Amino acid sequence: MNSCAHRSVTQITLGLEKQGLGIGRDMTDDHAELERLPTEELRRRAVSLAQRRWDAGFFWELIRTIPAAEVAAGRPQAGEAGVAHASTLFSQIVAEREGDRGLQEALRPLYLDYLIRHEESS
């Protein structure tokens, strides 16, 4: 690498490190740092990051996991209630968009796939 290119890479790396985003940072250090945080802080950071990234997948994962987490925390009735609550939220979201035929048709393959995979087991 020539010295001009090396200087640019070094400057970029140093700039990122000053922002706490360093390429040279060991990911295990980041993981260990996160592990030391209280759960409430982890929740706050994860939700905030997902909101900034518009990461709906994270929120669906959270909703999908809450009932099992309730059971793991010793509250099986709350787990059942969590499933009912998630179902209600889904119904509200769908009802708000009920007149949107384009959206309904775009979701059609998802409904078909789910029924094909699970209808026999019900």
Extents of the domains making up the chain: 1-26, 37-121
Q: How confident is the model at residue 46 (pLDDT cuts 50, 70, 90)?
A: very high
Rounded CA separation 104/110 (Å): 10
Q: How confident is the model at residue 53 (pLDDT cuts 50, 70, 90)?
A: very high
CA 37 from centre of chain: 19
Look at residue 45 and tell me whether its pLDDT is greater than 90.
yes
Handedness of CA 112, 117, 119, 122 (dihedral sign): negative
Rounded CA separation 107/114 (Å): 11
Look at residue 122 and tell me whether its pLDDT is greater than 70.
no
SS (HEC) of 52-71 = HHCCHHHHHHHHHHHHHHHH
Lowest mean pLDDT segment, chosen from 8-12, 41-45, 50-54, 84-88: 8-12
